[in-house]
C-alpha cells in the first residue's frame, strides 16, 4: 500500500487510487500484432506492429503537462465537464480508480452521482482496441432522470510517427477521413500507396454527432482540458481535409437513478488487398471493418473476448507458480515479472514513456536476453525470434545491432561492431533448448545477412561463428576486443568523440589497428559462459570432441582473465585504447565496476581460489546501496573522450554510477553460485519494484515493473527510478529469482533443483510445467541453510543428485527436496 495505490493480488491488478501519481504509471494493451500503451489517466497511443511506421494515435512526448493526449471520454453534466480518467480536464472527481491488469486497464471516475467506468483492452486475434464503457447514475431513487452528454475522443497520427511530428508543410494538407453512421475512418494516404486505414466506431448507442477536425473539436487556441465542442455540448458532424484529424463521437444519455447504460467504442487497423482497395471509385473498401463490427458489435461479444483474454493470461501464468514466504517476491515472480517479460518480448526497447517508438528497433543483445524470460511461456515464439535474430548476423560473426520489426532487416545506419552481441545467441539458444528439448532448431537454415540465400548457414553455424568471432578478435592481453562497446553501451573506448551531438556508439574507428587494443573483461567472462552453453549443446547432440574443445577454450580464457584482469581484490573492467586498465586500483581514482565481477563469476572464474568471493565482497562494500548496486564507483565527474558516453552523464545517473538494475541481477546470480542466499535475496529485494511502495515519492516509477535505472548515491535524487518497463532487468530478474534463488533450473537433461535462499526460510514450493509435464516441487529447509540439496525424492522414491530425470512416467511429477 502506498499513497497512490496497492496490489490486488487475487485479481492480478495494480489499483491506483489517485490520478496524480509521481509519474504516469502505465500499462500495455495487446499481445500479438496490435499494441497500445496506456497510462493511469488514459494517456498513450496504439499501433499496429511497428510503433514508428504504423502509429494510429498521435501522442506528444515530453508535452506539458506530461502525458496529455490519449483515449479520452468527456462527460458534460450541466455546465460541468469532466473525465473519468481525470485528465485532460483535471476536474476534481468524487472517486477515481485505475486498475492495471494483464493486457487491460480499467478506469473509473465518479462525479455528482454519475459514474463512468471504461475498460480498455485488445482482444486476442484482433487488430483493435475496445473501450468498453458503463455509465451509471448513483443518484438516489425518486430524483429526476439525468441528462448527460458523453464524448469519445482521440487524435489520429498520420501513420509514420516520426514524419508526423516533423513534416508539417506536407502533413497539414494530406489528412483525410470518411464517416458513416457511428463510424469515422482515418484514410490518409490510402488513395495513393497505402493499403491500410483505421476506424473509430461506436456501438450500443446512436451517435448524436461526430467530429473529425481538431480545430473544431478543441479549438486552435484552446487545450484538451477545455474542448469547444464539449463545452458547447455539440459536434458539427463534418468531414475534414488536412490539418489535424481527430475522431469524436457524441452520445446523449438519459439516466434514471440507479440505471446503468453500456456502450463501446472500437479503435482499430485494417488492411485491404491491393486489388480490392476501393468499394466505389474513391471510396475505401470497408469490408474488413464490417467483419470486425460483426465480431465485436455487441456487449456480449465484448464480454466473451475479455474473458478469453483473462484466460490467456491465466493459462500462461500457470506455467510457473511459486508459493514463497515473501509477499513481494510472490507478486513479482508469479505475476508482474512474467508479464513484463512478455512486454519486453513484444516491444523490445521501442515504445514506452521513455522510448518514443521512433528510435530503436529490436536490439540484438536486448532481444536475445529478453528470450531468457519467456522461453517457458511461449516457446514457439521464442523459437521464431531466435531465428529472426540469427538472420541479422553477418558471415564474419558480427551482428547488426538492431533490426526493424516490420521488415526484419538489420539497421545499416547503426551497423555492427558491438563485440558482446554475438555471444548472447548461445545463451538464448541454450535456454530455449533446455526448456523445450528441441535440438532441431540447430539445423534450421537461416543464412547470413550479407550472403545470398544459396549458402544458407544453419543456426548451429551461427552459434559456432559467434564463438569464432570472439576468438579471432582479441587484443594484446588475449582478452576480447570491445569494438564500439560491450553490454555497457556507454563504455566507448574507441570513440574519442569531441563533436557535440555525435553518436558515441558510432564515433571513432573500430576497424583500424588502433581499434585492436581496447579489450573487455566482461566479454571475456561472457565468452566463458557462452562456451559452457555450447559445450552442453554439443554433449546433447553427441559431439563430444567439439564439446571438449570449447571447454578448453573457456578454460584458456579463464586463465587469461586471472592473469591479466585480476586486480588484487576484484576484476578489472577493461583495457582502454592505450592499453591502460579501467576499473583498477592503479587508476588515479581507484575504480571498481560491476559487470566484470558478475561475468567473471558467471563465467566460472576464481570460484575455488577465493577470488570470486573477494570480488563480491568488494561489490558489497563499495557498490551496494539500499536501493541496489551501483554500476561503478567513483562516478566520473568530468568528460573523458577516451571512455565515451559513460562519462557524459552527471554522476549517479544511468551508466555513470547509476544503479543499472539489469546488471544487479547478475550479481544476485553470482551470490547464489557462491551459496550466499541471504545476500542474493537482499540484493533481489533492494531493486524489487513491489518493495519500492514504501518509498514511492522518491522512487516515482511504477511499483509493479522494473525500471532500467535508479539514481545512485552521487546523484541529486538518489533512489529515483527512470526508464520503466522496457529493460533487460525483466528477463534477468526472472532468471535470477526462479532459476537461481528459488533454484528450479531447466538443464539439458532435466530440471535441476538447486535453490539458494535465505537461511530463515523454512521452505517453499514451485509448480512448473516443463516439457509437457506438471512438476510440483516442495523444498524443505529444516536445518536453516542457504544451499545444498541433501535429498531428493520423486513420487516418493529417493534419487541421487539434484536433477529430475526426463523419462518419468505420467503427466504429474511430485518432487520433495530437503536442503541441509
Ligand atoms: C543509454 C544506454 C543505451 C544506449 C542505446 C545510451 O544513451 O545510456 O543505456 O543502451 O543509449 O543506444
Ligand atoms: C540499454 C540498452 O538497451 C542495452 O542494450 C544496454 O546493454 C544497456 N542499456 C546498458 O548500456
- Supply the DSSP symbol for 695: G
Q: Give the atom of ligand 2 at the shortest distance from the alpha carbon of 349.
A: 3
Paired residues of 72 in beta bridges = 153
User: Judging by beta carbons within 10 Å of its beta carbon (0-12, 13-18, 19+), is residue 812 exposed, middle or buried?
Assistant: exposed
* Cα of 728 from ligand 2 centre, angstroms: 8
User: d(Cα 350, Cα 139) in Å, to the nearest integer?
Assistant: 45
Yes or no: say if 642 and 498 are a contact pair by the CB < 8 Å rule. Answer: no
Q: What is the pLDDT of residue 123?
A: 98
Yes or no: say if 222 and 289 are a contact pair by the CB < 8 Å rule. Answer: no
In tens, the pLDDT along 401-437 reads: 999 888 889 999 999 999 999 999 999 999 999 999 9
Q: What is the pLDDT of residue 141?
A: 87
Yes or no: say if 741 and 333 are a contact pair by the CB < 8 Å rule. Answer: no
Of the pLDDT bands very low, low, confident and very high (cuts 50, 70, 90), residue 455 is confident
The CB of 370 under 6 Å from ligand 2? The reply is: no
Q: What is the pLDDT of residue 404?
A: 84
| For helices 379-390 and 337-347, angle between their N-to-C axes, nearest 10 degrees | 40
User: d(Cα 574, Cα 436) in Å, to the nearest integer?
Assistant: 36
Q: Which of 238, 193, 231 is nearest to 213 (CA)?
A: 238
Greatest Cα pair distance, the chain, in angstroms, is 88
Question: What residue's CA is closest to ligand 1, atom 11?
Answer: 489
β-strand 773-780 against 812-819: which pairing, if any? parallel
Q: Where are the alpha helices (DSSP H) in 565-660?
A: 595-602, 611-618
Please tell me which residue in 489, 567, 714, 754 is annotated as part of the active site.
489
User: d(Cα 334, Cα 530) in Å, to the nearest integer?
Assistant: 28
N-term to C-term CA, the chain: 36
Nine-digit cell at 776? 510440483
Please give the C-alpha separations between residue 45 and each of 54, 67, 109, 351, in angstroms, as whole numbers.
Answer: 11, 10, 21, 10
Yes or no: say if 540 and 439 are a contact pair by the CB < 8 Å rule. Answer: yes
Nine-digit cell at 174? 494530406
Query: What is the sign, positive or negative, of the torsion defined by CA atoms of 750, 751, 756, 761?
Result: negative
Q: Which of 248, 142, 320 is nearest to 777 (CA)?
A: 320
- Flag whether pLDDT at 710 surpasses 80: yes
User: Judging by beta carbons within 10 Å of its beta carbon (0-12, 13-18, 19+), is residue 549 exposed, middle or buried?
Assistant: middle
Q: Where are the alpha helices (DSSP H) in 373-491?
A: 379-390, 421-436, 459-472
Q: Which of 546, 227, 637, 162 is nearest to 361 (CA)?
A: 162
Question: What residue's CA is closest to ligand 2, atom 5?
Answer: 366
- Flag whether pLDDT at 768 surpasses 90: yes
Question: What residue's CA is closest to ligand 1, atom 3?
Answer: 489
- Flag whether pLDDT at 452 surpasses 90: no
Question: What residue's CA is closest to ligand 2, atom 10?
Answer: 488
Q: Give the atom of ligand 2 at the shortest distance from the alpha carbon of 487.
A: 7
The CB of 489 under 6 Å from ligand 2? The reply is: yes
Q: What is the pLDDT of residue 1?
A: 62
Question: What residue's CA is closest to ligand 1, atom 10?
Answer: 489
In tens, the pLDDT along 266-301 reads: 999 999 999 999 999 999 999 999 999 999 999 999
Yes or no: say if 188 and 113 are a contact pair by the CB < 8 Å rule. Answer: no
Nine-digit cell at 28? 500495455
Give the chain's mean pLDDT: 97
Choice from 364, 416, 484, 490 to test ligand 1 binding pocket (greatest atom count within 8 A of CB): 490
Of the pLDDT bands very low, low, confident and very high (cuts 50, 70, 90), residue 361 is confident
Nine-digit cell at 788? 545444498
The CB of 490 under 6 Å from ligand 2? The reply is: yes
Nine-digit cell at 550? 570449447
Q: Which residues contact 732 (CB under 8 A, 6 or more apart)?
A: 369, 372, 373, 662, 665, 666
489 in active site: yes
Apex CA 433: angle with CA 427 and CA 439, to 5°? 120
Q: Which residues contact 85 (CB under 8 A, 6 or more apart)?
A: 19, 40, 41, 42, 70, 72, 73, 98, 107, 109, 118
* Cα of 363 from ligand 1 centre, angstroms: 11
- Flag whether pLDDT at 57 surpasses 80: yes
Q: How many residues does the chain have?
A: 820
User: d(Cα 763, Cα 495) in Å, to the nearest integer?
Assistant: 51
Q: Which of 317, 310, 353, 315 is nearest to 335 (CA)?
A: 317
Reported as type and span, the H/E element at residue 178 is strand 177-180
- Flag whether pLDDT at 199 surpasses 80: yes
Of the pLDDT bands very low, low, confident and very high (cuts 50, 70, 90), residue 142 is confident
- Supply the DSSP symbol for 458: B
In tens, the pLDDT along 652-673 reads: 999 999 999 999 999 999 999 9
Q: Which of 520, 524, 675, 552 is nearest to 607 (CA)?
A: 675
User: d(Cα 421, Cα 399) in Å, to the nearest integer?
Assistant: 6
- Flag whether pLDDT at 306 surpasses 80: yes
User: d(Cα 466, Cα 386) in Å, to the nearest integer?
Assistant: 14
Yes or no: say if 23 and 43 are a contact pair by the CB < 8 Å rule. Answer: no
Yes or no: say if 731 and 371 are a contact pair by the CB < 8 Å rule. Answer: yes
Q: Which of 423, 622, 457, 676 is nearest to 533 (CA)?
A: 423
Q: Which residues contact 221 (CB under 8 A, 6 or more apart)?
A: none
| pTM of the model as a whole | 0.98
Q: Which residues contact 410 (CB under 8 A, 6 or more apart)?
A: 392, 399, 400, 402, 403, 416, 449
Q: Which of 725, 746, 732, 665 is nearest to 370 (CA)?
A: 732
User: d(Cα 35, Cα 308) in Å, to the nearest integer?
Assistant: 17
Q: What is the pLDDT of residue 454?
A: 60
In tens, the pLDDT along 201-219 reads: 999 999 999 999 999 999 9
Amino acid at each position: 500500500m502506498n499513497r497512490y495505490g496497492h496490489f490486488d493480488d487475487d485479481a492480478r491488478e495494480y489499483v491506483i487510487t489517485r490520478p496524480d501519481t509521481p509519474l504516469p504509471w502505465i500499462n500495455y494493451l495487446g499481445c500479438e500484432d496490435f499494441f497500445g500503451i496506456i497510462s493511469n489517466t488514459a494517456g498513450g497511443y496504439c499501433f499496429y506492429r511497428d510503433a514508428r511506421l504504423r502509429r494510429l494515435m498521435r501522442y506528444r512526448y515530453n508535452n506539458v503537462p506530461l502525458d496529455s493526449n490519449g483515449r479520452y471520454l468527456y462527460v458534460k453534466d450541466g455546465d460541468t465537464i469532466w473525465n473519468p480518467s481525470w485528465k485532460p480536464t483535471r476536474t476534481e472527481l468524487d472517486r477515481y480508480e485505475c486498475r492495471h491488469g494483464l493486457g487491460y486497464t480499467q478506469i473509473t471516475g465518479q462525479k455528482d452521482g454519475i459514474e463512468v467506468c471504461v475498460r480498455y483492452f485488445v482482444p486476442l486475434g484482433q487488430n483493435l482496441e475496445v473501450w468498453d464503457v458503463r455509465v451509471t447514475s448513483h443518484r438516489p431513487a425518486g430524483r429526476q432522470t439525468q441528462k448527460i452528454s458523453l464524448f469519445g475522443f482521440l487524435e489520429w497520427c498520420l501513420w509514420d510517427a516520426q514524419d508526423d511530428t516533423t513534416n508539417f508543410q506536407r502533413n497539414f494538407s494530406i489528412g483525410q477521413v470518411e464517416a458513416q453512421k457511428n463510424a469515422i475512418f482515418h484514410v490518409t494516404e490510402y488513395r495513393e500507396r497505402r493499403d491500410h486505414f483505421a476506424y473509430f466506431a461506436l456501438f450500443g448507442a446512436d451517435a448524436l454527432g461526430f467530429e473529425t477536425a481538431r480545430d473544431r473539436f478543441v479549438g486552435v487556441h484552446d487545450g484538451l482540458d477545455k474542448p469547444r465542442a464539449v463545452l458547447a455540448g455539440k459536434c458539427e458532424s463534418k468531414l475534414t481535409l488536412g490539418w489535424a484529424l481527430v475522431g469524436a463521437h457524441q452520445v446523449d444519455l438519459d439516466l434514471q437513478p440507479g440505471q446503468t447504460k453500456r456502450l463501446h467504442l472500437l479503435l482499430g487497423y485494417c488492411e485491404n488487398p491491393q486489388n480490392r482497395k476501393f468499394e466505389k471509385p474513391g471510396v475505401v473498401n470497408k469490408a474488413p471493418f464490417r467483419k470486425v463490427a460483426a465480431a465485436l458489435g455487441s456487449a456480449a461479444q465484448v464480454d466473451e473476448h475479455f474473458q478469453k483474454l483473462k484466460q490467456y493470461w491465466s493459462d500462461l501464468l500457470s506455467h510457473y507458480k511459486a508459493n514463497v514466504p515473501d509477499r513481494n517476491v510472490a507478486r513479482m515472480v508469479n505475476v508482474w515479472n512474467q508479464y513484463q517479460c512478455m512486454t519486453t518480448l513484444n516491444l523490445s526497447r521501442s515504445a514506452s514513456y521513455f522510448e518514443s517508438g521512433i528510435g530503436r528497433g529490436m536490439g540484438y543483445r536486448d532481444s536475445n536476453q529478453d528470450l531468457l524470460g519467456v522461453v517457458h511461456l511461449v516457446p514457439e515464439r521464442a523459437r521464431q525470434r531466435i531465428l529472426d535474430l540469427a538472420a541479422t548476423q553477418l558471415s564474419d560473426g558480427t551482428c547488426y545491432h538492431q533490426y526493424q520489426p516490420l521488415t526484419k532487416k538489420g539497421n545499416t545506419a547503426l551497423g555492427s561492431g558491438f563485440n558482446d552481441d554475438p555471444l548472447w545467441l548461445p545463451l538464448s539458444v541454450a535456454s530455449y533448448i533446455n526448456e523445450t528439448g528441441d535440438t532441431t532448431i540447430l539445423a534450421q537454415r537461416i543464412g547470413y545477412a550479407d550472403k545470398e540465400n544459396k549458402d544458407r548457414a544453419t543456426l548451429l553455424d551461427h552459434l559456432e561463428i559467434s564463438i569464432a568471432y570472439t576468438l579471432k578478435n582479441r587484443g594484446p592481453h588475449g582478452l576480447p576486443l570491445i569494438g564500439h562497446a560491450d553490454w555497457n553501451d556507454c563504455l566507448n573506448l574507441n570513440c574519442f568523440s569531441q563533436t557535440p551531438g555525435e553518436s558515441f556508439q558510432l564515433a571513432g574507428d573500430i576497424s583500424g589497428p588502433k581499434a585492436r587494443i581496447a579489450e573487455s573483461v566482461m566479454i571475456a567472462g561472457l565468452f566463458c559462459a557462452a562456451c559452457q552453453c555450447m559445450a552442453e549443446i554439443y554433449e546433447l547432440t553427441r559431439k563430444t570432441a567439439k564439446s571438449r574443445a570449447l571447454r578448453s577454450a573457456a578454460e584458456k580464457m579463464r586463465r587469461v582473465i586471472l592473469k591479466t584482469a585480476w586486480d588484487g581484490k576484484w576484476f578489472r573492467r577493461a583495457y582502454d585504447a592505450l592499453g591502460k586498465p579501467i576499473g583498477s586500483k592503479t587508476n588515479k581514482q581507484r575504480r571498481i565496476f560491476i559487470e566484470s565481477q558478475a561475468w567473471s563469476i558467471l563465467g566460472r572464474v576464481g570460484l575455488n581460489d577465493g577470488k570470486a568471493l573477494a570480488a563480491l565482497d568488494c561489490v558489497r562494500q563499495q557498490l551496494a546501496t539500499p536501493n541496489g548496486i551501483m554500476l561503478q564507483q567513483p562516478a566520473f565527474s568530468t568528460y573523458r573522450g577516451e571512455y565515451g558516453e559513460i562519462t557524459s552523464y552527471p554522476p549517479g545517473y544511468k551508466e555513470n554510477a547509476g544503479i543499472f538494475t539489469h546488471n544487479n541481477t547478475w550479481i544476485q546470480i553470482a551470490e547464489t553460485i557462491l551459496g550466499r542466499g541471504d545476500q542474493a535475496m537482499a540484493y533481489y529485494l533492494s531493486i524489487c519494484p513491489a518493495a519500492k511502495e514504501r518509498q514511492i515519492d522518491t522512487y516515482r516509477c511504477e511499483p509493479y515493473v522494473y525500471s532500467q535505472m535508479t539514481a545512485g548515491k552521487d546523484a541529486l535524487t538518489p533512489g529515483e527510478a527512470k526508464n520503466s518497463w522496457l529493460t533487460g532487468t525483466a528477463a534477468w530478474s526472472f532468471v535470477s529469482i526462479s532459476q537461481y534463488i528459488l533454484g528450479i533450473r531447466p538443464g539439458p537433461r532435466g530440471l535441476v533443483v538447486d535453490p539458494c535462499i535465505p537461511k530463515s526460510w523454512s521452505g517453499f514450493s514451485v509448480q512448473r510445467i516443463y516439457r509437457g509435464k506438471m512438476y510440483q516441487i516442495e523444498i524443505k529447509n529444516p536445518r536453516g541453510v542457504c544451499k545444498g540439496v541433501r535429498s531428493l525424492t520423486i513420487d516418493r522414491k529417493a534419487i541421487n543428485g539434484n536433477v529430475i530425470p526426463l523419462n518419468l512416467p505420467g503427466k504429474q511429477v511430485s518432487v520433495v527436496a530437503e536442503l541441509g
